């Protein structure tokens, strides 16, 4: 994995292997409930203490039932959460009123089994749209989850598997840090192996910490990290009916230290890049750094336009140094790019200078594109702002996977 | 070809085979100038009379040099055109100041050979971005074009071939109509075989008539037809650096009759659908009719969002009746769709009713999708407005073609 472009900081983060399971007080299980034919499809996460919960969810107008019901749970005055239920195999989206009833029933089942209120359960789903949730299987699956709940990496791995759809690998990330001589952890789990936007593949991420804090602090940390990570692998991070990122932390009074914010962003970035690397049919990772922009929104808009261009993605797959497609994508988004000022850098080598002057030969550029990890810098020559986006190539396997998703 | 959804009208249109070559007073040629290795790559079209010229061009900020220079020619007070030069194999985009110089030189070469002003020549290009135009080859090619100029379908076919890139077939359309007992023709030629947006494949179309009219009438006819045809196979029709539609008509005083507007729109629609059917790797045509919208902009936005969804396109290729992807695409674009009100109709059969109730079994829906031409109606249940968009599926061949476009 490339060194991520984090700000330099003296604060030492300790990488851990257990993902969400590395966070003290978190118990997990992942089982096969029978929503899918054979694979694990139901995850349960519980918290020993009451948790604040912050959310960033899809802005799609067809929000799935679990998004809507969980939002109600979170919106209650002083709400705290104690558990998270997530299934794969069925998105419970476009399922009408029945869909919402089924989410409430799921939360009630989990609450009864755990001895907590139904409104203290966050529910998330991913899978096929338009199919109702098989409630009886969820009920039996939850019973088995409760029996298997445990701390640690093995359980976290099972839970990570249970939320996968076309993902090839489970996605876990965790970092420990020290604050006032105490050790804390931020850990997370995610699913998402689509090319994400513009393709509406569901992205789910759950991040927790054992550092107590105020609600506003958790909310800010989640929003900032999402803008710089999950939203930079997807246009607005808001396309699917089921997209959601939930963050959990115990209730506290103190403002979190910089080390927490760093660890949180790092967990989010690791999870986001794991999704990019697991892109459906992906053979390469592309990092697009836009520099010299007027402001950050302009930089982000251009970076995401390039990352999301099918022509850029297919050229990358074919290792074709067709830089015109990159520039055409930058221009198409109408972000105020100056056609006379841009230049390109490929893997730290000057590629195309102002005025379209090629500095690398076609053969040289092709050789750079043979690498697995490609970094393209787009210098706009307009100001000082920048942004980074990450994506993958578009291969024939992407089409194969998505042409027969349900079969 | 499906019967296009034109308004019912008593006016009789007579379909002709010669495309632009069916228009009296138009002469054409298409030759191999050597910009490409083997195929025809340079077209010349001349008009016996002075022509008004209206244009709809890309809004991409990286407009190609021929777009910019031709816009200057058209912008001159009282400007009339006498010729059109179009090459394939080189987009002359992102070529800096040299690119514009090369367009002016091309126009000057054509003007000198034809005995007209350089500013009476429209220039268009399509092909690889970032490569300069080989002016000497263009010069020699223009000389051969001038020697071969002729009226009629054979020359129109040669010219249509000369502007192709990944197109598999030349695209021609022409209709005759009678007005005050005189016969007139609207004829056109186009290129474009990409999935068009979001993929920035260049779309070019040139449409001419022998019916004299005022400048404003030609302009209105072009804009209306473009909105309902070319822009409904592409997001805004404005993504590529080189996209352009030019319309030509002799100078006159009268307002054009309804028959002209019908014929013009029909030519535009035939050319647009020919592009859809020739989509790179396309195996199916999808027509999306959005009905019951608040207003036409809403209907267009939703129709285009569905047509442009990679997940919808791949499901179509796989004949997978995954209707959730259609609805998710409609919701993602944030056009004000009500999740409780939509319903779907597939090939005139009720498919999914309000509340997500399936009316066709999976097997029945799959059988409908086996057809080559698929029509999906999306009823929004909000009002009376509607719009239609056309697209194709996303196949493995699309990736193959675009991964190695230059090699």
pLDDT at A2 > cutoff 60? no
Same domain, B340 and B375: yes
How many contacts (CB atoms, under 8 Å) link A and B? Answer: 216
Q: Does A381 touch chain B (CB under 8 A)?
A: no
**Residue B277: per-residue pLDDT:** 85
Distance CA A268, CA A7 (A): 15
Say if CB A88 and CB A162 are below 8 A apart.
yes
Q: Is residue A199 part of a domain?
A: yes
Q: Whole-angstrom Cα distance, residue B117 to residue B105? A: 12
pLDDT at B8: 43
According to the per-residue pLDDT averaged within each range, which of A15-24, A226-235, B269-278 is highest? A15-24
Instruction: Identify whether residues B134 and B258 lie together within a single domain.
Output: yes
pLDDT tens digits, one per residue of A118-176: 999 999 999 988 889 999 999 999 999 999 999 998 999 999 999 998 888 999 999 99
State whether B269 and B295 are in the same domain.
Answer: no
Pick left, alpha or beta for residue A154 (phi over 0 → left; psi -120 to 50 → alpha; otherwise beta). alpha
Calpha distance B93→B100 (Å, rounded):
9
What number is the ipTM of this complex? 0.74
**Closest to B379 measured CA to CA, from B359, B357, B353:** B353
Q: Is the pLDDT of residue B99 over 60?
A: yes
Average pLDDT over residues B151-162: 95
Mean pLDDT of the residues in chain B: 90
Q: Is residue B197 scored above 70 in pLDDT? A: no
Minimal CA separation from A184 to chain B, in Å:
38
Please report where in the chains the tokens 């009316």 appear, as a residue: B359
Q: Which are the catalytic amino acids of B?
A: 202
Confidence label for B236 from pLDDT (cuts 50, 70 and 90):
very low
pLDDT above 90: residue B246: yes
Tens-place pLDDT, residues A270-320: 999 999 888 767 788 899 999 999 999 999 999 998 988 877 888 888 888
The verdict on A24 and A130 lying in the same domain is yes
Residue B308, pLDDT score = 82
- Average pLDDT of the segment spanning B181-207: 81
Q: Which residues of A are catalytic?
A: 202
- The residue assigned the tokens 């760093």 is A262
CB-based contact, A61 to chain B, within 8 Å: yes
Please indicate whether, in this complex, the C-beta atoms of B95 and A402 are within 8 angstroms of each other.
Answer: no
Q: Is residue B3 part of a domain?
A: no
Q: Averaged over B389-401, what is the pLDDT?
A: 76
User: Do A194 and A129 reside in the same domain of the chain?
Assistant: yes
Q: Taking the mean position of all CA atoms in its chain, how far away is CA B252?
A: 26
- Which comes out higher in pLDDT, residue B330 or A308? B330
Q: Compute the average pLDDT of residues B82-108.
A: 96
Strands (E), A215-265: 244-250
Confidence band of B10 (pLDDT split at 50, 70, 90): low
Q: Is B8 near chain A, with CB under 8 Å? A: no
What does the pLDDT read at residue A405? 55
Q: In this structure, is residue B330 part of a structural domain?
A: yes
- Report yes or no: B307 at the A interface, CB cutoff 8 Å: no
pLDDT bin (cut points 50, 70, 90) of residue A403 is low
Q: The CATH number of the domain where A388 resides is what?
A: 3.10.20.340
Is the separation of the CB atoms in A127 and A89 below 8 Å? Answer: yes
In the predicted structure, residue B104 carries a pLDDT above the cut 70: yes
Cβ of B60 and A328 within 8 Å?
Answer: yes
Write down the pLDDT at residue B371: 87
pLDDT confidence band for A234 (50 / 70 / 90): low
Q: How far is B228 from chain A (nearest CA, A)?
A: 21
Indicate whether A248 and A298 sit together in one domain: no
Same domain, A71 and A220: yes
The reply to whether A258 touches chain B by the CB within 8 Å rule is no
Examine the fold and report which residue of B215, B246, B277 is the final residue of a domain before the chain moves on: B277
Reported confidence tier of residue B405, pLDDT bands at 50, 70, 90: low
- Closest B-chain CA to A324: B129
Looking at beta carbons, which residues of chain B come within 8 Å of A406? 320, 322
Residue A5 lies in a domain: no
What residues of B are in contact with residue A395 (Cβ under 8 Å)?
Answer: 399, 403
Mean pLDDT throughout A229-241?
73
Give A355 to chain B, closest Cα distance, Å: 5
* Nearest CB neighbour to B328, from listed A62, A325, A327: A62
8 Å CB contact of A239 and B330? no
A324 in the same domain as A260: no
What would the mean pLDDT of B66-73 be, rounded to a whole number? 98
Predicted local distance difference test score (pLDDT) of residue A319 = 85
Domain-embedded: residue A7: no
Q: Note which residues in 191-250 of chain A have CB less than 8 A from chain B.
A: 195, 198-201, 238-241
| A59 touching B (Cβ < 8 Å) | yes
Give the gap in angstroms from C-alpha A63 to the nearest C-alpha of chain B.
Answer: 8
A391 & A260 share domain: no
Q: How confident is the model at residue A1 (pLDDT cuts 50, 70, 90)?
A: very low
Quick check: A323 pLDDT over 60? yes
From chain A, pick out residues whose CB is under 8 angstroms from the CB of B196: none
Give the least confident one: A225-234, B106-115, B117-126, B252-261: A225-234
Residue B5 lies inside a defined structural domain of this protein: no
List, for residues A15-29, the tens digit of each pLDDT value: 999 999 999 999 999
Domain boundary among B261, B277, B293: B277
Instruction: Indicate whether B2 belongs to any domain.
Output: no
Q: Where do the DSSP E strands lie in B148-240? A: 171-179, 182-191, 204-209
The parent domain of residue B254 ranges over 14-277
Residue B1 located in a structural domain: no
One domain for residues A251 and A347: no
Q: Cα dihedral sign for B157, B159, B161, B166?
A: negative
The residue from A244, A277, A310 where one domain ends is: A277
Average pLDDT over residues B287-293: 96
Tell me the whole-structure pTM to 2 decimals: 0.82
Is a pLDDT exceeding 60 seen at residue B406? no
Distance from CA of B338 to the nearest CA of A (A): 7
Would you say residue A198 has pLDDT above 50?
no
Residue with tokens 């399509």: B126
- Is the predicted pLDDT of residue B227 greater than 70, yes or no? yes
Give the mean pLDDT of B234-252: 82
- Identify which of B96, B314, B339 has the shortest CB distance to residue A402: B314
The answer to whether the Cβ–Cβ distance between B337 and A61 falls below 8 Å is yes
CB neighbour list of residue A131: distance below 8 Å, 6 or more residues apart: A90, A91, A92, A95
Note whether B384 and B304 are same-domain residues.
yes
**Is A68 touching B (CB cutoff 8 A)?**
no
Query: Which residues, in sequence order, are CB contacts of A367 under 8 Å at separation 6+?
Result: none
Pair (A324, A230) in one structural domain: no
pLDDT for the residue numbered B398 = 66
Q: What is the CATH number of the domain that holds A193?
A: 3.60.70.12
pLDDT band at B317 (very low <50, low <70, confident <90, very high): confident
Q: With an 8 Å Cβ cutoff, is B353 touching chain A?
A: no
All residues at 6 or more sequence positions from B180 whose CB lies less than 8 Å from its CB, including other chains: none
Residue A197 pLDDT level (bands cut at 50, 70, 90): very low
Residues in chain A with CB shorter than 8 Å from the CB of B311 are 199-201, 402
Write the CB contacts of B391 (distance below 8 Å, at least 6 apart in sequence).
B195, B233, B276, B279, B285, B286, B288, B307, B308, B313
Question: What's the mean pLDDT in B115-141?
Answer: 95
Question: What was the pLDDT predicted at B395?
Answer: 73
> How many structural domains are present in chain B?
2
B8 CA: distance to closest CA in chain A (Å)? 35
Of A179, A139, A160, residue with least CA distance to A45:
A160
């Amino acid at each position: 994995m490339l060194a991520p472009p984090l700000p330099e900081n003296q604060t030492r983060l300790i990488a851990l292997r257990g993902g969400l399971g590395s966070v003290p007080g978190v118990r997990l299980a992942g089982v096969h409930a029978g929503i899918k034919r054979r694979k694990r499809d139901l995850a349960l996460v519980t918290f020993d203490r009451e948790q604040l919960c912050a959310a960033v969810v899809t802005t799609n107008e067809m929000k799935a039932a679990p998004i809507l019901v969980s939002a109600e749970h979170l919106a209650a005055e002083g709400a705290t959460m104690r558990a998270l239920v997530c299934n794969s195999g069925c998105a419970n989206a476009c399922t009408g009123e029945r869909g919402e009833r089924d989410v409430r029933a799921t939360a009630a089942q989990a609450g009864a089994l755990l001895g907590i209120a139904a409104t203290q359960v966050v529910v998330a789903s991913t899978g096929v749209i338009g199919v109702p949730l098989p409630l009886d299987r969820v009920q039996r699956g939850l019973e088995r989850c409760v029996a298997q709940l445990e701390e640690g990496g093995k359980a976290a791995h099972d839970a990570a598997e249970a939320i996968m759809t076309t993902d090839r690998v489970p996605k876990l990330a965790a970092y420990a840090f020290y604050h006032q001589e105490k050790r804390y952890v931020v850990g997370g789990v995610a699913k998402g192996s689509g090319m994400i936007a513009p393709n509406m593949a569901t992205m789910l991420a759950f991040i927790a910490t054992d550092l107590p804090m105020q609600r506003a602090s958790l909310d800010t940390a989640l929003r900032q990290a999402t803008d710089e990570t999950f939203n930079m692998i997807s246009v607005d991070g808001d396309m699917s009916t089921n997209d959601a990122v939930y963050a959990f932390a115990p209730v506290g009074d103190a403002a979190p230290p910089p080390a927490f914010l760093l660890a949180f962003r790092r967990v989010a970035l690791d999870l986001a890049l794991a999704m990019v690397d697991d892109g459906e049919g992906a053979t390469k990772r592309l990092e697009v750094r836009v520099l010299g922009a007027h402001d950050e929104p302009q930089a982000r808009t251009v970076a995401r336009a390039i990352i999301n261009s099918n022509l850029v993605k297919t050229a990358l797959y074919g290792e074709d140094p067709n830089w015109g497609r990159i520039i055409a994508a930058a221009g198409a988004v109408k972000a105020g790019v100056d056609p006379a000022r841009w230049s390109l850098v490929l893997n730290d080598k000057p590629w195309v200078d102002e005025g379209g002057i090629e500095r690398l030969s076609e053969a040289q550029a092709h050789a750079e594109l043979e690498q697995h990890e490609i970094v393209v810098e787009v210098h706009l020559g307009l100001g000082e702002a920048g942004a980074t986006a990450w994506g993958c190539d578009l291969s024939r396997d992407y089409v194969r996977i998505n042409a027969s998703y349900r079969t």
